[in-house]
Every structure is written in C-alpha cells, then in structure tokens.
Amino acid sequence: MHFAGVLPEDAPDPRARHAELLKRMPIPVVEFVAQPSVQVTDISVNSATDRYGCSAMTASVSATLWRNPDNKSDPVNLADLDDDSRHAIEEVPPWPRPAWLIERVESMRFPSLWEAVQTNWHREESELNALDSLLIQHTNYILMNQFREELGLSARDWDAPAPLSERTATRPIDVSIDREAVSGIEIDTDPFVYAVGAKLANGGTLTAVIAREHLPFITVQFASRR
C-alpha cells in the first residue's frame, strides 16, 4: 500500500475501513489454512455497483511469510531488499507517524504474500467471472505488480500486454478447502508464480497466486475465515 505526503499521527488505520466493507461480503472470505509460516496482515476489499446495488466484491488476503516461524529473529526470515528499499525502511522521518504505519513499514523487512488469496463474489455469472478467467486475471495482477523487473518492464510500461493470455493452459486439480477436496484448476507453467483456484459451494470463487520461491514454506490449502 502506498501513502503519499505526511500522515498525521492520528490518521485512521485503513484496515478499519476494509473491515467495515468486509461485513458486506455476501460469502465467507477464504484464506490459507492456519499455519505458522503465514501471518495475515491485511484484507483489502474492492466492489462494483450498478443500479440494483452491489454487483461484485473481491476480498484479497495479504500475509507475511515466515521462513522460520519458530525464531522470527532468524535472519533467514528477512526479505531480499535492494538498497533503496532498505533505506526507505530504516530512515525515520522527523515527524511522528501513526502506529499502524510504523507497523506496516516494519513488516516490509519480511517477504510478503501480497494479495495472494482472493475470494470473488459476483451477483451474476458470466464469461468474465468464470474460474479460468478470474485465475488468469489474478495471476496477471500479481505478475504485473510484483515481478516487473523479472518481466523486463519499466515503471512506464503499465500499458504492456498482460504476461498471460486468456488461452493460458490450466489443468484440473483437487484443492483443499475447509478440509474437503474441491475440484479446481491450476497454472503451473509460469516461471515466477504458481496459481490455483476453485469454485466455492456458496457460488463464490477462490483464486490464489504464490511466488514459486515461497512454495517450500507454505501449505497450499485453504479455509474459510472465522
């Protein structure tokens, strides 16, 4: 999340607004199954409306990854940061900052599973919100925001074609959701990320996109958020 300018010390935590929006989600949010290596840090919510009211909602779960959750001070848990990012984290401004912002900056020291798991709800089914389409959209979103350097994209290349096309190959796979095997699909051909998704019994759709370097530390199973 990017914040411009100087925020007053009493600036409200944006997570509170997302928590209120989350109450309007018609279906339960799905996240990674509880595991020591994954610590949820944020759930952001986007929605669309039309003349009949809310037509679609997406809840995106972000988390910190702990490579060694038993010892969080272990240097193995630190993210591989460039000099500019490290300087931005360590530089303390001469004005007071909100506690939640300090917490957010400190979390940047560690690898992030940024918007890794999404729960999608649409009032009406269409080709645009079919499982394969949503999974490809989510994968492209992560690639374009998290792997720009690896893709050879500059800061000005936001109009570049999406890395994956609608013809990207998917294959069937069973996805564990609430301890049950659900028929889903995966994208296991991209060199940077692994993606998996499934239709939910309540009419929603789960998609998850994970950097390949993080896969050894994560159990790729999911559970409804309580």
Give me the pLDDT at residue 3, please.
Answer: 44
Give me the pLDDT at residue 118, please.
Answer: 98
Give me the pLDDT at residue 48, please.
Answer: 93
The more confident residue out of 133 and 92 is 133
pTM for the whole thing? 0.89
Give me the pLDDT at residue 91, please.
Answer: 80
Does the pLDDT at position 210 exceed 90? yes
Does the pLDDT at position 4 exceed 80? no
Q: Where residue 5 falls among pLDDT bands split at 50, 70, 90?
A: low
Does the pLDDT at position 57 exceed 60? yes
In angstroms, the CA 163 to CA 120 distance is 22
pLDDT tens, residue by residue, 62-77: 999 999 999 999 999 9
What integer is the mean pLDDT of 130-143? 96
In angstroms, the CA 209 to CA 187 distance is 9
Give me the pLDDT at residue 220, please.
Answer: 98
**Amino acid residing at 134:** L
Task: Look over the chain and give the mean of its residue pLDDT values, rounded to a whole number.
Answer: 90
Q: HEC states along the chain?
A: CCCCCCCCCCCCCHHHHHHHHHCCCCCCCEEECCCCCEEEEEEEEEEEEECCEEEEEEEEEEEEECCCCCCCCCHHHCCCCCHHHHHHHHCCCCCCCCHHHHHHHHHCCCCEEEEEEEEEEECCCCHHHCHHHHHHHHHHHHHHHHCCCCCCCCCCCCCCCCCCCCCCCCEEEEEEECCEEEEEEEECCCCCEEEEEEECCCCCEEEEEEEHHHHHHCCCCEEECC
The two tokens of residue 162 are: 């999406």
